[in-house]
Every structure is written in C-alpha cells, then in structure tokens.
C-alpha cells in the first residue's frame, strides 16, 4: 500500500530517538512550559525569520489567540477563504468574529487577492490568508491592501512550514503567523501542538499571557486568558525533528518534480501551479480532474491512497449555514471541491513508488476509464 502520510514512517525510523526525548522530559520533572518549549520556540521562530515564538496546544488555538491578541472580538469581520480546513473558521468564530469569504484562484487553490477590496467593510478587523497545500498566498499585493486599509494580517501557516514568498518564510510577513504541528504536517509531532510567531514584542508578550490564563507570573491574571500551552513532550519531539525540516521539504520537492515530469500532458488532469517568486513545500500534491472520483477508486484498487482535501467547502456545511452563503456564491471554490485529489506525498515515498503512482494515473487516462 502506498500511503499518503509520513508520521508512521517517522516513528519507525526514529523510534529510539523519540522515546529517548520523551524519557528525558519525564525524567526532568518539568512537563509544562520548560526548557524544551523554550528551545523550540526560539529555534522555530528563528527558522521562520522572526524573533518570537509562542508555543500553544494546537494550530487552531494559534489562530484563535492571534486574533484575540489583535483585539478581534464580537461584531468584527475576518476575511478568509472557504477552501480550507474547518479550524480556520472555527478559530474566527471562537474569537467572536464573523468570517467573510472570498473566492480562490483556480490554479493555486489560494485566496484570490483581487477580491479583497470589495470584501473589506467598516467592520473588517483582520485578513486571514491560508497558505494551502504548502504554497503561500500572493502576500505582496495582500499586504499592500491591508496596509492601505490599516487592517492587520494573520497568516494561517498550518500547511506551509518551510514555504517561502520572495525569499521570506511563511509566517514572517503578517502581524502573526499561526502554525500547526498535528501529526500529518510536514513538521508534525505525535499529538496536538501549535505555535504563533511574530516580530512584534508587544504581541508576543500578549500571546504568552493569553495562553496562560492572562498571567505573567503565578496566580495573578493581568487580563482574561485561556489555557493553551505547548507541553514539554511534544516540544521535545519537535526539537528532534526541526533540524530535518529543510531536508524533508527538499525531498517533497523532488517527488513533486517527478510527478510534474511524469504527468505532463496527461489527459484531463491539471497539476499544481507554482507561482513565480514562491517556493512550494508540497505538504500536499493536489491535482484537478473532472473524473476525480473514478480516478481515486482506480488508484485505490491498485493499492495507492489518494485523498480529497476538502470535499465540502465550509460555507456549504450545515454547521455554518447561519453565515448565509448559498450554493454558487463562491463558484471557483465549489467547482474545485468536486475536482481536487491529493496524490501520495511524504518524504519516505521512494522514486519507484512515485513511479507506480505516475504509471497508474497515466493508465487511467490512457484507457479512458470512467469507473473503477
């Protein structure tokens, strides 16, 4: 079986080191906000090119606390996209704000920045671009619009650790960058974990308070806060994995190059577009085809796991009908939901296995297969 995620491989390959890191934490007697967290905050922030990192318990909380740190609250609007994971919108709602959706670009699946000016209102408190699949949104024009309107930007970097835009790392361009280290991520641990990064010392100080009941010391709250702390065990594992991140991303790019070469010109399939000035880290290798479901079954029958991210846009989910969006309101997002498919992509995928995927996709289109 050719899988689509890497964390099982990571554990098999690095089991001894991972268990040693866990034992080191347990033996230290410090399980919350200790040296492991401090080390990872410092090193990951440096990796992103900013001075401050604040470890929290999930990527969702990284977004939520980023919005709270910027003062986003009830009655505010946050502009984002519907072609994303539910946590993006859940964080906005947890902050009390209302998500306002713009559509996405057909070839990158990313926020269509040209739609931002029409989406801004007097209630807009933040713009929240999602760096989906491992490629950044067009941040230069986005930041220009945000600066002109004096609107802060929070980057959703859950899928983009290691991606760059014109030489700058994802997470370093907005007021705050929010990361997830969920097990499936390019830099993932073995549980929930997240981080907010920023170049602003005042925002960093507030984020640290907010994650710990609003406290700066013990037993005294400076402001209403929350419990959202990155624990020492997960930080220790992330400290172990961070030095390998660049190599992991490079391997993903090699696999993407194999796919791009092997699938060039094949049938009714559109390959991921990589825009000039951006380094895609290929968290996902997502293709588009009008015969998506048949292709997915064809691959499954041959022991190849492909996945759909995301089959239903958030604005059409029952849980978010109250936002008032109707079918047809975001036409590109809705069309993509029926066409996108992520092929196997993880550093442990061998060239031969990538070749098997390529051969299977080519076979599907060569035979004109309509069903499995």
Map out the domains of the chain as residue ranges. 7-102+109-243, 245-366
Please give the pLDDT value at position 80.
98
User: Residue 300, SS3?
Assistant: helix
DSSP β-ladder status, 176-180 and 194-198: antiparallel
d(CA 195, CA 256): 27
- The answer regarding whether domain 245-366 maps to CATH 3.40.50.10540 reads no
* Under-70 pLDDT residues of the chain: 4, 368-372
Q: Give the up-direction half-sphere exposure of residue 76: CA atoms within 13 A in the CB hemisphere.
A: 21
- CATH architecture of the domain 7-102+109-243 equals 3-Layer(aba) Sandwich (3.40)
For residue 372, the model assigns a pLDDT of: 41
- Quote the pLDDT of residue 218: 82
195-228 pLDDT, tens digit per residue, is 999 999 999 999 999 999 999 988 899 999 999 9
- Cis-peptide into 310, omega within 30 deg: yes
Predicted local confidence at residue 369, as pLDDT? 57
Predicted confidence (pLDDT) per residue in 52-107, tens digit? 999 999 999 999 999 999 999 999 999 999 999 999 999 999 999 999 999 999 99
| Contact yes or no for 306/295 (Cβ under 8 A) | yes
The confidence score (pLDDT) of residue 8 equals 76
């Amino acid at each position: 079986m050719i899988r689509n995620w890497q964390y099982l491989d990571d554990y098999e390959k690095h089991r001894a080191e991972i268990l040693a890191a866990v034992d080191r934490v347990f033996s230290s007697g410090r399980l919350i906000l200790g040296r492991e967290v401090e080390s990872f905050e410092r090193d990951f922030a440096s990796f992103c090119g900013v001075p401050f990192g604040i470890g929290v318990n999930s990527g969702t909380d990284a977004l939520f606390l980023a919005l709270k740190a910027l003062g986003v609250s009830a009655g505010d609007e946050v502009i984002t996209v519907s072609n994303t994971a539910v946590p993006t919108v859940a964080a906005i709602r947890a902050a009390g704000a209302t998500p306002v959706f713009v559509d996405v670009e057909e070839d990158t699946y990313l926020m269509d920045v040209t739609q931002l000016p029409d989406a801004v209102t007097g209630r807009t408190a933040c713009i929240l671009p999602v760096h989906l699949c491992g490629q950044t949104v067009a941040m230069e024009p986005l930041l220009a619009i945000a600066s002109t309107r004096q609107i802060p930007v929070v980057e959703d970097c859950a899928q983009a650790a290691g991606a760059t835009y014109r030489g700058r790392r994802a997470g370093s361009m907005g007021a705050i960058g929010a990361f997830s280290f969920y097990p499936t991520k390019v830099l993932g641990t073995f549980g929930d974990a997240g981080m907010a990064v920023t170049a602003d010392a005042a925002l960093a100080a507030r984020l640290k308070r907010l994650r710990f009941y609003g406290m700066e010391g013990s037993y005294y709250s400076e402001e209403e806060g929350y419990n959202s702390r990155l624990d020492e065990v997960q930080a220790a594992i992330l400290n172990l994995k961070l030095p390998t991140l660049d190599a992991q991303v490079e391997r993903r790019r090699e696999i993407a190059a194999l796919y791009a070469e092997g699938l060039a010109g094949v049938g009714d399939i559109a390959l991921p577009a990589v825009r000039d000035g951006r380094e895609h880290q290929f968290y996902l290798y997502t293709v588009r085809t009008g015969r998506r479901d048949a292709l997915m079954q064809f691959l499954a029958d041959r022991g190849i796991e492909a996945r759909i991210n995301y089959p239903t846009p958030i604005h059409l989910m029952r849980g978010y009908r109250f936002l008032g969006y109707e079918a047809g309101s975001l036409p590109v997002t809705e069309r993509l939901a029926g066409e996108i498919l992520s092929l196997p992509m993880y550093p442990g995928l061998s060239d031969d296995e990538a070749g098997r995927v390529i051969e299977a996709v080519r076979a599907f289109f060569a035979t004109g297969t309509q069903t499995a």
